[in-house]
Amino acid sequence: MQEALLAWYSAHRRDLPWRRTRDPYAILVSETMLQQTQAARVAPHFVAWLERWPTVDALAAAARADVIRAWQGLGYNRRAANLHRAAALVAANGWPENLTELPGVGRYTADAVACFAFGADVLPQDVNVRRVLERSGGRFGANCAQALMDLGATVCLARVPRCGICPLAAACPSRGRRFEPLRKQSPFEGSFRQRRGRTLRLLVAGPQPVGELDADALQALAADGLVAVADGVASLP
């Protein structure tokens, strides 16, 4: 299975900008942006981000407000604040041995940075990788990580996998199956997430009187370090 996967990957790999570097800072930026966001949407943001802040020291020295503004269009804005905090810690202390000590870095992101930047023999398992592993029952090394991600994203799809073009199909016990969605995503329209996003967009445009903003959304944004409130006025920090 591993040989078949790698042969397929050599012919079908996605050309993604974060695959052209082993810089741990760039990998951390990409993995943070990719959380719950599609690669095609992330790619232009990633390139623009590294043009503006090419090193971890450059990001650490940036104003939080500028970081939040640059993040617009990616969603889940607390990721921007966590990335900024992580950059400050790395700039001050270097990369920790346990990468999960960095703000916003969970097991998967830590494994991805360790594998793609530091060459660790660990297979990072995002949702696409886990899907392929569970369905195929195959065993794959860390050198298969990017191939598994591409296979899960483009062939071994969540509900209706494209088994007819899958390089693992011949030995896959799940070949031909269809799958129900694991969970239904709650609607965005009318959600608290939408309220947070609307409030933050107002503050990206400029400071606003607190009394004119959604109080609960403002409180949540402040708790995440995304806004500051002083003298009855809310603004980016």
DSSP 3-state assignment of 115?
Answer: helix
Phi/psi for 230 (5° steps) reads -155, 135
Question: Given 83, 116, 149, which residue is the final one in a domain?
Answer: 116
Asked whether residue 203 is assigned to any structural domain, the reply reads yes
Whether the pLDDT of residue 85 is over 80: the answer is yes
Q: Where are the alpha helices (DSSP H) in the chain?
A: 2-12, 24-34, 39-52, 56-60, 64-71, 78-93, 107-116, 127-136, 145-154, 192-205, 215-223
Each residue's pLDDT tens digit, 88-113: 999 999 999 999 999 999 999 999 99
Share above pLDDT 70 across residues of the chain, in percent, rounded to a whole number: 98
Domain-located, residue 168 = no
Any domain includes 170: no
Domain carrying residue 104: 23-116
* Residue that terminates a domain, selected from 95, 116, 137: 116
- Given 116, 146, 164, the domain boundary residue is 116
Does residue 160 belong to any structural domain of this protein? no
Reply yes or no on whether 51 is catalytic: no
Residue keyed to tokens 């993995």: 31
In a domain, 166, yes or no: no
Distance (Å, whole) CA 92 – CA 110: 19
pLDDT tens figures, 149-206: 999 999 999 999 999 999 999 999 999 999 887 666 667 777 888 899 999 999 999 9
Q: Residue 47 domain-assigned?
A: yes
17 within some domain: no
Give the 3-state DSSP-derived string for 186-214, with helices as H, strands as E and coil as C. Answer: CCCCCCHHHHHHHHHHHHHHCCEEHHHCC
Residue 153 lies in a domain: no
Residue 119's Cβ-side half-sphere holds a number of Cα atoms within 13 Å equal to 0
CA nearest neighbour of 22 among 133, 130, 113:
113
Neighbours of 190 (CB within 10 A): 9
Q: How far apart are the first and last CA of the chain?
A: 50
**Structural domain tally of the chain?**
2
Q: Which of 3, 31, 189, 212 is the catalytic position?
A: 31
| CATH code of the domain covering residue 101 | 1.10.340.30
Query: Among residues 215, 209, 212, which one has the least CA distance to residue 232?
Result: 209
